[in-house]
Copies of this chain bind each other. A is one copy, B any other.
C-alpha cells in the first residue's frame, strides 16, 4: 500500500485517453502535481492510501478543458463595442482604447478576471497572445492555471514595444524569464502575416526554435486576408508563411477559416496545431472554418474562445457545443463532429494543438492532474440514457453548462471547490474591473462628444490651417469658361478631368458634415481610373461671405481617406447620407500673380440642366482672403455671370 497525496474516488471518469476509456466507479491517484494511476475505485484504494480522499460520488470527472486561443486581458474590454464590422470594432474601438489603457496593471487585472471565469467553466489550460505577456504569465501562475503565454510581436508600435526590434527583444527576455516554469509555457506570438514582415516572422521562428517553445499566430481569419496575400505575395496565406519556413516552429495557428484543400494538407504535413474559434468567427462574420476536413486530414484542431471582446465570454462549454453544431451545417452532414470528437477537441486535441499533450488534455498516469468535476444530475441534463457509451459525451457537449462544473484542479492544486474560487480574490477583482470600465467609458464619451474628435481619435484627420476663398455660379453655356481661359492674362498651369462621387454624411445633433470624395480620373478616351479618396469635414455656420457671394470657408479638415466609405458611415453612425456625382473639368490657372482653380462641373446624379462653375483659391490669412476675393470678383465679371446665377450654398444644399 503506497501512501500518496490525493485519491479522487467513486466518480465517473471520462479519460479522453487513446481508447476513450470510461471508468464507471473510478478513482484517480495523485502525487504532488501528477496523476500516478487511473482505475476503478476498488483497485485504486487497494493499492493506495492518501492524506486526502475525496468522494466524487455522482460526479463526472473530465480532463480540464483547453482554451486554445484567447487574448485574456481583453476580458476587461468585454461588451465595450459589439455588433460592429471588424475594422470599425478594431480601429475605432479596440486599438484606441488599447493605446490608451494597456499597461502592466491592466494586463494583470484582465488576466485575473479571465482566469476567474475560465476556472469557473472548467478550463485549466489556455493559449494566450497579448502585450506585457510577463504580466499575463505572472497572474496566470498566481491563479494556478496552465498557460501557453504568447508575447505579441508587431511591425507597428505596440503598447509594450516601440518597434519590431524592441518587441523581439522583449519577447526574448520574456522567454528567458519564464522558461521552465511548472505552469507557464512562454511562446513567441507574431500577431499575423499582415501585421508583420518576412524578417519579423523569420526572427520569430528562430527565437521559438532557440527556446523550443510554441509560436502562436493568427492565420487566414478572413477572406480579405487571403485576397491581400494573393495580391501581395501571389499565393494564399498558408503557402506564403510556409515559404518563409514558419512551420519549422511548433506552430499554433488561430482561426484558419479560409483555407483550401491544399492548405489543409500543408497544415497536416507540417504538424501545425489549429485553434478553431467558432463564436468569434460567427460574430465578426469571418466565416465558418472547414473543421471536419481538417480533422479528417489528421490535424490537431483545438477550440478557442478568442478574446472576450469578440465573443463575449470565455465559456468553453458554449464554444465546444457551437463547434459541434456548426460543423454539421458546414459539412451538410449531421453525423459530422459527433459529441465525443467535440470533447476531444476541447481536451486532448487542444493540448496537441498547443504542443503540450505530454502535460495535459487527458486523464492518464504520468500527466499533470488537470481536472474538471461536473454535476450532470441537474434538470437540463436529465434524464441519462446509457444504451451506448457515447451518451456521456452527448450529455457533456450538448446539454451540460459551464455552471455544472463543481470543482476544478490544475497541476494537482484545487482552484475551485463547490464553485468557490480558491486562488482569486473576486470581490477586489470586480471592483477594480468596474473602475477600469468606468475610466474607459469616460475616455470614450469625451472622444465621442463630436464628430471631429471621433475622427481625430483614430488618427484619420489633420486640421488644415489654410482657408479657402470660392465663388460658385450656374452656367448655361460652358463656352464662356473657354473664353476666359483664352484671355492672354490667364495662364493654364494644369488641366484635369474627373468624375467625382461625393457622399455627404450628416449626423444627429451635430453641425459637422463629412464629405467622402472619390475622384475617378477621366482619360482622353473616356476611361475611368480611381485616383484617390478624400475626407473633408466642414462645420456649418463657419463661413464668411464677401461681396458677389465670394465665400471664405474656415475650419476645414481634410485628409486622405484610408478606409472605405462604409467604415466612416458605421464608425460615425451617420444619420443621413446623400451622394452627388459630377464630372469636373479643372484648370489650375495663374492670373495677376495668383494661383486659382477653375472647376467646370456637370452634375450627373442627381441630374441637373446646365453647368456650374467654381472659382477658388487657397489662402492663409484673412487679409490675403480679402485680396483674393477681389481678384475672383473681377474674373466673375469677365464671365458675364448675372448675380442671380451666383450660388451661396454648396452642392449638398443645392441638390437637397
Chain A residues close to B by CB (< 8 Å): 76, 78-80, 82-86, 89, 113, 116-117, 120-121, 279, 281-288, 308, 311-315, 318, 321-322, 325-326, 328-329, 331-339, 377, 379-387, 390-391, 394-395, 398-399, 401-403, 426, 429-430, 433-434, 436-437, 440-441, 444-445, 448, 570
Contact = CB atoms under 8 A, between A and B. Distances in A.
Given A325-B283, A329-B281, A78 B386 contact: no
B314 A383 contact: no
A334 B430 contact: no
Given A79-B394, A383-B433, A403-B403, 12 more contacts: A83-B337, A83-B338, A89-B334, A113-B383, A283-B328, A284-B334, A287-B329, A313-B381, A313-B398, A384-B437, A387-B444, A401-B401
Contacts of A325: 279, 282-283, 322
B383 A339 contact: no
A401 B400 CA distance: 12
Contacts of A383: 76, 78-79, 113, 433-434, 436-437
Contacts of A326: 282
A387 B441 contact: yes
Contact of A377 (B379, B430, B570): B430
Nearest to A314: B380
A135 to B, nearest CB: 18
Given A85-B335, A339-B82, A394-B83, A285 B328 contact: yes
A591 to B, nearest CB: 50
Contacts of A314: 380
A385 B441 contact: yes
Oligomer copy total = 2
B398 A311 contact: yes
A326 B394 CA distance: 22
A385 B440 contact: yes
B379 A113 contact: yes
Nearest to A421: B379
11 contacts: A83-B394, A279-B325, A282-B326, A284-B334, A285-B332, A288-B329, A318-B318, A379-B426, A382-B437, A387-B441, A403-B403
Contacts of A279: 325
Among A282, A377, A380, A437, which residue has the most Cβ atoms of chain B within 10 A? A380
A346 B445 CA distance: 30
Contacts of A395: 79
Given A84-B334, A339-B83, A448-B387, A394 B328 contact: no
A76 to B, nearest CB: 6
A282 B384 CA distance: 23
Among A82, A285, A401, which residue has the most Cβ atoms of chain B within 10 A? A82
Contacts of A336: 285
Contacts of A441: 385-387
A359 to B, nearest CB: 26
Nearest to A382: B433
Contacts of A318: 318, 321
A285 B333 contact: yes
Nearest to A83: B338
B334 A380 contact: no
Contacts of A113: 379, 382-383
Contacts of A284: 328, 334
A282 B385 contact: no
Contact of A385 (B80, B379, B394): B80
Nearest to A424: B379
Nearest to A80: B385
B329 A282 contact: yes
Nearest to A329: B282
A480 to B, nearest CB: 48
A313 B311 CA distance: 21
A82 B398 contact: yes
A281 B326 CA distance: 10
A392 to B, nearest CB: 9
A385 B435 CA distance: 10
Given A401-B401, A433-B382, A394 B426 contact: no
B398 A401 contact: no
Nearest to A429: B379
Nearest first, the 9 A-B pairs at minimum CB distance are A383-B437, A83-B338, A312-B398, A282-B325, A403-B403, A383-B433, A285-B334, A82-B394, A285-B328
A313 B79 contact: no
A120 B313 contact: no
Contact of A78 (B83, B382, B426): B382
A390 B93 CA distance: 15
A434 to B, nearest CB: 5
Nearest to A279: B325
Contacts of A120: 379-380
Nearest to A112: B379
Contacts of A436: 383
Contacts of A434: 382-384
A144 B479 CA distance: 84
Nearest to A280: B325
A495 to B, nearest CB: 42
Contact of A399 (B78, B386, B403): B78
Contacts of A335: 83-85, 570
Given A335-B84, A383-B437, A402 B401 contact: yes
A434 B82 CA distance: 42
Contacts of A394: 79, 82-83, 312
Nearest to A403: B403
B82 A390 contact: yes
Nearest to A441: B387
A60 B517 CA distance: 46
Contacts of A333: 85, 285
A570 B334 CA distance: 11
Contacts of A391: 79
A493 to B, nearest CB: 46
Nearest to A430: B382
Contacts of A308: 399
Contacts of A79: 381, 383-385, 391, 394-395, 398-399
